[in-house]
Structure 1
Amino acid sequence: MDDHAPVHDIHPPAPRWTHVALRVTDIDATIDWYTTYTPMRLLDRRQDDMGYGAWLGHDDAPDSPFLLVIAQFFPGTDPFKDSPIARLAPFAHLGIELTSREAVEDAATRGDAGGWLRMAPTDMPPPIGYICMLSDPDGNMVEFSHDQGVYALARRLALKKS
């Protein structure tokens, strides 16, 4: 069985937030950007009569998967062809919590070298923490944070339930 093929007979034990979807202009550039600048991996990629699709995320969260779904439609089959490609910006963003301030600084340094840095590392008031922002090839903002506490809160709540 193909490791990347969707399995339709496995369902979550309860409703789950599973993905955010973005329409992109160049799926290859977007996959390359997210697999270079974020900890996401390419989990699945496909093509059909409407265009290209890909799922990016982590392969270590089987009980709570959360994916970035990207789609590049073919011009003749784009169901949204009369609409501009929506962008998460200037405040709307995807957030990635990192393990240290140094990791945020490293993300900013790498992003700056690639021309993607939009906000240098900055200490923000609680609960925001230490953050920087990069933009992806379509101009979507991606926040890299440390000490924001999203992961800690989610883990604490999950452990409390078990």
Structure 2
Amino acid sequence: MSDKGLTHVALAVSNLDASIAFYGRYAQMQVVHRRKDPVNGTPVAWITDQTRPFVIVLIEQPPVKHPLLPPSHLGVACGSREEVRHLCDQAREEGCLKAGPDDYGPPVGYWAFLSDPDGHILELSHGQEVAYTVEQSQTASHS
């Protein structure tokens, strides 16, 4: 079976285990593949939330010189506003909440920015209309 479409985003990280823990805690992602690069010995992990065939490839290469900063970010949809709020409370206690939570209404929804251990920005949201927007564009293109 061959892949088709967008399959991954790769991020340089300074500590693979710390990044795996962060994305597990705040994005419910888990490791589905882990290895050392056979050429240079660099530790690599693929993480996913198991909702679609998509992974974030974490590549340990300290120091991280160019973190993903606003407006660039990774976005993760949460199941409820309460989940966003709970994760923001936890992030605030851990010192990684950068902005929010704020409610911008549709199509942006209720969102917040968190900073991973290397400064890459993770957006948590509820109420964005990504699936609806994609579905509507497919319906319109088939009319």
Cα offset, 1:33, TM superposition: 0.9
Match of 2:43 in 1: 52
Question: Which residue in the other structure is 1:71 paired with?
Answer: 59
Cα RMSD after superposing both structures: 2.3
Residue of structure 1 in register with 2:12 after alignment: 23
Of 71, 75, 91, 1:111 maps to: 91
Given that residues 102 and 110 in structure 2 are in contact (C-alpha distance below 8 angstroms), is that contact kept between their aligned partners in structure 1? yes
**Which runs of 4 or more aligned residues in structure 1 lie more than 2 Å from their structure 2 counterparts after TM superposition?**
58-61, 151-161
Q: Distance in 2 between matches of 1:18 and 1:159?
A: 23
Aligned to 1:130: 110
Normalization by structure 1: what TM-score?
A: 0.76
Structure 1 counterpart of 2:23, one-letter code: Y
- Between structure 1 and structure 2, the one with the greater Rg is 1
In the alignment, structure 1 segments of 5+ residues that lack a partner are: 1-9, 76-80
What is the count of residue pairs matched by the alignment?
139
Contiguous gaps of at least 5 residues in structure 2: none
Q: What amino acid does structure 2 have at the position aligned with 1:86? A: H
Answer yes or no: is the 8 Å Cα contact 1:134–1:143 preserved in 2: yes
Distance 1:55 1:122 in 2: 30
Q: Percent identity?
A: 35
